[in-house]
Amino acid sequence: MNVFVTGGAGYIGSICVEELINAGHTVTVLDNLSEGHHSAVDSRARFIQGNLGEREFINAALAETKPEAIIHFAANALVGESMENPAKYFRNNVACGLELLDAAVKSGVRKFVFSSTCATYGPPDKVPMTEDLPQRPINPYGESKLMFEKMLQWYQKIFGLEFVAFRYFNAAGASKKFGEHHRIETHLIPNVLKVPLGQATECQIFGTDYPTPDGTCVRDYIHIVDLAQAHILAMQPGKHGFYNLGNGEGYSVREVIKMCERISGKKIPAIEKPRRPGDPPRLVASAERAFKELGWKPQFPKLEDIVSTAWEWHKAHPNGYPD
């Protein structure tokens, strides 16, 4: 298929582009490089630099490239920042997304795959989380993603734009070529790996008195290549709706640190700090629906696989991407 990927210079987008091209698809990447990196774009893809919010530009880009499917990764995704600057999140994640939706309809795009988030649920009523749980986001980031999900539903009803939206927690790991390099790094695994890389003297644990086996928060991690494969499967005709993605188990902060020690072969000191407000003890998603309806089967469900690939990439790229 001819696929248009927004945010294709970012962490998740870059590896999805790589997997799409490996699977035989033709890919155009759109990214404004505010968060992404030009050198993270697969050299086999066409790259367009620009902003989704510019209506004439996005209309022209889709009219020229004539994609059959759009995979939409372009979003701001820092929960804390969204509480300080909600306008940025509603402007980029909702208003700019609306321009993309209108351009998609105008250019005759048949399929729209949206990278959403489990933050749309807020504190879950049960764990593992299923797609039928009530959605009660507790920050503008989650709210902005939920608003776009609702827009997709209306665009399918009114214009027949078939969509799939994925909700997940922590993307992690790397492919051989591409990995995780955020200008502001909030994710646990790359921050823990900074210690064996010699870029930090210690890592931090926020809260050690949670009702979990070792007292630290349990979170769901999904290998970035498995995540990319789910987005590719979603392009199949007739597949539509909402799907959670995850490994179904979850790992504690201490388990992640221990695994990073084992894989790197180096001791990683951890400083224990008080809980952060709003951190639930356990967040794990059920991917049963994706297994059954999309035929998705993670290749790298184990924490060892996730950390190993991340460590190999960070060792090879200790300073991340050059641009």
Q: Is 141 a catalytic residue?
A: yes
d(CA 269, CA 261): 10
d(CA 67, CA 242): 22
Q: Where are the alpha helices (DSSP H) in the chain?
A: 11-22, 55-65, 79-84, 86-89, 96-107, 140-159, 188-193, 224-233, 253-264, 288-289, 303-316
**Helix, strand or coil, per DSSP, at residue 153:** helix
DSSP 262-304: HHHTS---EEEEPPPTT--SEE-B--HHIIIII----S--SHH
**Helix, strand or coil, per DSSP, at residue 189:** helix
For residue 226, give the nearest of 5, 27, 12 by alpha carbon.
12
d(CA 109, CA 103): 9
d(CA 267, CA 97): 44
d(CA 12, CA 118): 16
Per the residue annotation, which of 11, 121, 141, 210 is the catalytic one?
141
Residues forming the active site: 141
